[in-house]
Amino acid sequence: MDALEILSNINDVFPYFQPIFSADEQRVIAYEVLGRYKSAENVISLGPFFCDEQIPEEYKFEVDLLLVRKALEKAEELDEDVSIFLNRNAELLMYGHGEPFLQELLEFESRGFKLSRIVLEISDHNYSGDLDQFDNLLQYYRTYGIKIAIANLGSENHFFERIGELEPDILKINLEALKSTSIGTNFNDVLFSVSVLARKIGATLLFENIEMSYQLQFAWKNGGRYYQGYYLHPPAAEFISRDFLKPRLKEKFHDFIVYEKRKLEAVYTTAEYFQAKVQEIVMKNRKSGYEELLHVLGKEMDHIVFRLYICDEDGFQKSANLFKENGGWSIQAEYINKNWSWRPYFLENIIKMRNERKGILSDLYSDIETGEPIRTFSFPINGSEYLFIDISYQYLFEHDQLL
């Protein structure tokens, strides 16, 4: 991209706006500003211009400031509760120590544009400057009501580290990864961690690059409040009606809700089945030793489970593992006295089982040893001992509503 051509024809630089929709209202709640340039042939994205390290920062800032000015002038016609997302990498934001950009925003504030409507979508994974100064600048901007969104920050470790440091208002998740079948489970696990962290710090999840219905469903299921992508609406020079997709989104969400209810009913029914089945076997064999009880359970539930063991209420394993491999059952005595209280929800589930005197069917998770998706049914044998039954992936696959 010829930087000099753009600077010589800077009036041909203008903003495009991509709408962002909310789950709770099913309407437009914000627009992301994207840079465009009208060349002799067509309209082209300014993304390569801003990513080109050979172009001086002052050139980029001049073009960006014009985009911001034009975007906010146009945004003045929007409802006051519609936000404007502005992409800023660290170098651009730190230009002139952040003051020229802030002064531009303050000029619009003096005209009645509330800065609480501004969301800075930041990226700093290639930034070589002082991160502490950058973070201080962001906190300074926040004193004016400006919100912070974290987009793609490169490596997962850096991503989580920066979330903890900045405590952003919005976390932006790129669903491009869902196109790959090779990263499905890992992506789900990472996303679950992100969603838990977002909930802890009070951040909102925004899913971008939604290009198909299943990606919208994925975003909805995983706690996404805001959605953006070509499946919903492409970037355009003009704004759209806020209720443009309301009927369609309501219909989609209804379908998602029906599907999830059906899955939850299947999980509930399975938990009830295991409760009755296991309780009957345990009652019939209450005088048996650990190993004998586990063998009876393994024989009765041979087509369902692949691992069984018994722990006390503190998480210490009282029995060996009864483990299924190569079509038969084997004893793994090395697991006796191992402690599992460090596992998420372990002690919480123990207290729940003790008080409610019934078993619990876990959510879907990856087994540490096999790597396969499994569920665990936990059952209180008595007041101090608890049975754990790991359900095989094969059984879950045959009852796919459990996956």
Tokens, residue 21: 């929709």
Whole-model pTM above 0.85? yes
pLDDT digit string, tens, across residues 232-278: 999 999 999 999 999 999 999 999 999 999 999 999 999 999 999 99
CA distance 125 to 131: 10
> Each residue of 47-67: pLDDT tens digit?
999 988 889 999 999 999 999
The token pair at 370 is 């096999």
Residue 188's pLDDT is: 73
Out of 3.20.20.450, 3.40.50.300, 2.60.40.10, 3.30.390.30, select the CATH number for domain 3-233: 3.20.20.450
What superfamily in CATH does domain 275-402 come from? Answer: PAS domain (3.30.450.20)
Classify residue 18 by its DSSP letter. Answer: E
What is the token pair recorded at 209? 């690059």
Residue 194 banded pLDDT, cuts 50, 70, 90: confident
What is the separation, in whole angstroms, between the first and last Cα of the chain? 47
pLDDT digits (tens, 9 = 90+) for 199-216: 888 999 999 999 999 999
pLDDT at 80: 96
pLDDT value at residue 157: 56
Judge whether 3-233 and 275-402 match in fold. Answer: no
The domain locations on the chain are 3-233, 275-402
Question: With contact defined as beta carbons under 8 Å apart, do 184 and 223 qualify?
Answer: no
- To 5 degrees, how large is the angle CA 403–CA 154–CA 218? 25
Binning pLDDT at 50, 70 and 90, where does residue 379 land? very high
**Residue listed under structure tokens 């930087």:** 3
The pLDDT tens digits for 108-157 are 999 999 999 999 998 766 677 888 899 999 999 999 999 999 986 444 55
Per-residue pLDDT for 184 more than 60? no
User: 59, 60, 81, 84: which is closest to 73 by C-alpha?
Assistant: 84
